[in-house]
Structure 1
């Protein structure tokens, strides 16, 4: 890192191999979470034993039991009172189930798309960037994993750009209302039935708030519990989800709406510090709206049940606190600076988060192997190679925050995932760019569009952002999930495969996984596997039938 910022010529910094070193206190924290549900787990074998014993009871046994109870009436009364009291306490204090009824992701209009050439031309025409900064942005774009169809706000298409408050409000309204309109249309839930509203947007916090804008637009009821979270980074979507979950534990029989977005209009950087130019190249327009409920009657039509939320905050460390930092450069121009230590800090936060999450989700066999290896090294200095838990045994689908190609690559390597596990993240980055806290919902929408989510499947959403924070949410599918109307990917899968094949050049030559680009590799692999005859050339015509 030079005084000018991050140098693109430096070798790509990788996430540290965070599974090779584990802090025991985070394992302990994970087991603490597990023990909070121990009573429920112990009741399962007890209930099973009672059921087995009852099934073996005949009429003579019942008659003898009745006579015994008649001679011990006081004992029966006391036992019944304790049973009633205990049952009441359990029912009143047990966590209420939280269901995800549906969610929606915003797709901007086509005229807001920005191609690489257009991006570079507009950057040059602003007159704010020197030649070195323009070349730096060009290289970042080429290596970013973004495609040619991502979106920037209307204000950034103007020459010169117009980053006004009015334009920022317009962007926020388009994104939030677009996602909410589709959500309400799909779920048929009325605005007056919404009891809780949580909105998160890091860099745009106007007065009145974004949550107030939604209340005004949809005329939500006067006693709604509304929250507006600002400055909490790309992991704020899971934080908003956790807040809604906690509110649903308190307020019965209601709905909660969570809106996750970011606002770009007033947060474009017009300077030449390299470390502050990267967000210009990665962040794009996007947003999501999620409908949650604690109503038992909605379980039949709900898509998922929320199983776990695990949050990790590294803000107590100065380096972690300042690794993603909004500030002014030497010329007084405001932007978000990314530290050279970002990848290492992200790795530490991820290590803490998954170490805490592990005991909650991993099979007993994986936990035992992990724990025995860890204790051997800690207590006996055995110097054994740490056992890396297989998270593929705990989760069926992975929604990794699409922050950048390098991060996805390193998580794929560190967690020993297969290409199809990170396909949703790669394709989201390629199609929509880094949409901040909403990216994990575009990824879940992609997985639904491919028809992959079956009843009982577990989905892991993991996001990280400024602070520094890493947060996880675990969902369980309640049914075979189909894509909802206006899914952001409903027309993309076939078009993206066609786009790849058309750009491949020689369509008469067989396309293999090896010749596919990183963004399309798992998609091509999936097609080839199902196509059968890999020696036959793959064309747009043959691809359409399979995809």
Structure 2
């Protein structure tokens, strides 16, 4: 039989399987809509009965009801007072909504780009790496998912490199001030109206602090609440948002700015320990600045509303605590070591995080399925695979921290996402590399640049960091969101998505 015949036979055999999968898909969708609207469906007969009864009530019945209320005036007044008091307490104590007005991502100048060949040539000429280490770095670069246009700091472009405190300060200023200048220009917000400032940078914490550098640069007011978060890894951006949110609950009618960055200049590794060479190949220059507000008037001009923040910390476990660890190698050279157990630990942290997040965001249909399979597994079949909730029913967009290709692959598989859901993460990794805590903002900017963000869409930002931590932030779009001026994707979005080498 010819090959064409074989293909036709295979297609015919595959058709029932395809139809079965389609049928199951629509059965699940039908179940989801039925459960989600069950309360409404139950109320319809009740509303009809009440309407019929009301239409049959005559004037005499209404007069008797009024007389009954008059004789029970004290009861009516007491109930009304309790209702008014309860409503007032609810209004006064409910959490104030937090709105994201705008954000900005720093884009380094072109002369700081580090193509693979240039990166490898510089590594060879420094003389700090042996042949085995050079070959290891080359393989990591090829498999990393990074493209040819990522950026490394100025000090790393010299031969030999010139890491110093002054150079590290210069990198921090370029990134933070570049993002903030663009943010203030786009929003037309006076820096003196900023009441809360939160800065996070894991590995570079000079004195005066990075937050103090921003206060000095923009002449921020003297009573500003400023915070500087250090050593908290790539998930610190979500932690900073959570801290700003809490501060906005206390201090009313003000703005908060969150600046997320990482500093590479003084944290480049010049040794030959393989687990400490990986960060050199992945981390690149980047940073973001986010403007938040708790003023109700800002809802009209805001882009997003903060819905949930869920934080998970696995630091009590020794293995998790040491899986991303800054230390010195045997030669006394400092770097960040990544454990071989990193992906397994990240998976465990993710599981804990989504166990908390799931009930907050998943429709009741998915929660019932998850609970039912959990009961069956406990009582009847302990080997039964646990049901993985369909988070695509809860979120329209996913911003997975662009920590590396393996991280994105693992979450795509575990959360059963489609390629389009991880496109923003993969393209951010390709264009900008791992920019640490700011990567989730480059990803959100990609979604906006592709004009995919519609009013009411929900976005899940999820990040992992040393400690070990897994943190999530959920945002809801207040309008059809378009990219702001000077978006990091402004002149290159038409070239993306690019096809990545397997």
Same fold per superposition (TM over 0.5): yes
What's the counterpart of residue 152 of structure 2? 152
Q: Could you say what secondary structure the match of 1:234 adopts?
A: helix
**Shift of residue 62 of structure 1?**
7.0
**Shift of residue 440 of structure 1?**
0.3
What are the Cα deviations for residues 72-112 of structure 1, in whole angstroms up to 9, with x where unaligned?
33223322332222122211211111111111100001111
**Shift of residue 384 of structure 1?**
3.1
What's the counterpart of residue 75 of structure 2? 75
Distance 1:90 1:140, change over 3 A: same
What's the counterpart of residue 161 of structure 2? 161
- Length-normalised TM-score, structure 1: 0.80
Distance 1:232 1:382, change over 3 A: closer
What's the counterpart of residue 330 of structure 2? 330
Query: What is the CA–CA distance in structure 2 between the aligned matches of 1:194 and 1:65, rounded to whole Å?
Result: 57
**Shift of residue 69 of structure 1?**
4.0
Query: What is the CA–CA distance in structure 2 between the aligned matches of 1:79 and 1:518, rounded to whole Å?
Result: 69
**Shift of residue 383 of structure 1?**
3.8
**Shift of residue 161 of structure 1?**
1.1
> Any conservation in 1 of the 2:145–2:500 contact (CA below 8 Å)?
no
Query: What is the CA–CA distance in structure 1 between the aligned matches of 2:278 and 2:454, rounded to whole Å?
Result: 38
What's the counterpart of residue 12 of structure 2? none
What's the counterpart of residue 197 of structure 2? 197
1:120 aligns with 2:120: yes
1:108 aligns with 2:108: yes
**Shift of residue 252 of structure 1?**
1.1
| Residue correspondence of structure 1 range 236-275 to structure 2 within 5 A | 236-275=236-275
| Residue correspondence of structure 1 range 279-298 to structure 2 within 5 A | 279-298=279-298
Query: What is the CA–CA distance in structure 2 between the aligned matches of 1:186 and 1:263, rounded to whole Å?
Result: 25
Query: What is the CA–CA distance in structure 1 between the aligned matches of 2:77 and 2:226, rounded to whole Å?
Result: 47
Q: Could you say what secondary structure the match of 1:482 adopts?
A: coil
**Shift of residue 131 of structure 1?**
1.0
**Shift of residue 175 of structure 1?**
0.4
1:401 aligns with 2:401: yes
What's the counterpart of residue 412 of structure 1? 412
Query: What is the CA–CA distance in structure 2 between the aligned matches of 1:187 and 1:410, rounded to whole Å?
Result: 37
Query: What is the CA–CA distance in structure 2 between the aligned matches of 1:88 and 1:448, rounded to whole Å?
Result: 39
Q: Could you say what secondary structure the match of 2:373 adopts?
A: helix
Query: What is the CA–CA distance in structure 1 between the aligned matches of 2:489 and 2:238, rounded to whole Å?
Result: 22
**Shift of residue 410 of structure 1?**
1.5
**Shift of residue 493 of structure 1?**
2.0
Query: What is the CA–CA distance in structure 2 between the aligned matches of 1:62 and 1:269, rounded to whole Å?
Result: 84
* Mean CA deviation greater in 388-397 or 282-291: 388-397
What's the counterpart of residue 4 of structure 2? none
Gaps of 5+ in 1: 1-40, 501-515, 520-547
| Residue correspondence of structure 1 range 331-410 to structure 2 within 5 A | 331-381=331-381, 383-410=383-410
Q: Could you say what secondary structure the match of 2:490 adopts?
A: coil
What's the counterpart of residue 132 of structure 1? 132
Gaps of 5+ in 2: 1-38
Q: Could you say what secondary structure the match of 2:155 adopts?
A: helix
What's the counterpart of residue 318 of structure 1? 318
Query: What is the CA–CA distance in structure 2 between the aligned matches of 1:314 and 1:450, rounded to whole Å?
Result: 36
- Length-normalised TM-score, structure 2: 0.87
Query: What is the CA–CA distance in structure 1 between the aligned matches of 2:164 and 2:58, rounded to whole Å?
Result: 82
Query: What is the CA–CA distance in structure 1 between the aligned matches of 2:450 and 2:404, rounded to whole Å?
Result: 22
* Mean CA deviation greater in 379-388 or 141-150: 379-388
Aligned residues: 455
Q: Could you say what secondary structure the match of 1:472 adopts?
A: strand
Query: What is the CA–CA distance in structure 1 between the aligned matches of 2:58 and 2:304, rounded to whole Å?
Result: 44
Query: What is the CA–CA distance in structure 1 between the aligned matches of 2:472 and 2:54, rounded to whole Å?
Result: 46
What's the counterpart of residue 441 of structure 1? 441
What are the Cα deviations for residues 44-76 of structure 1, in whole angstroms up to 9, with x where unaligned?
x9xx98xx98x9699957766554444333223
What's the counterpart of residue 494 of structure 2? 494
**Shift of residue 495 of structure 1?**
3.7
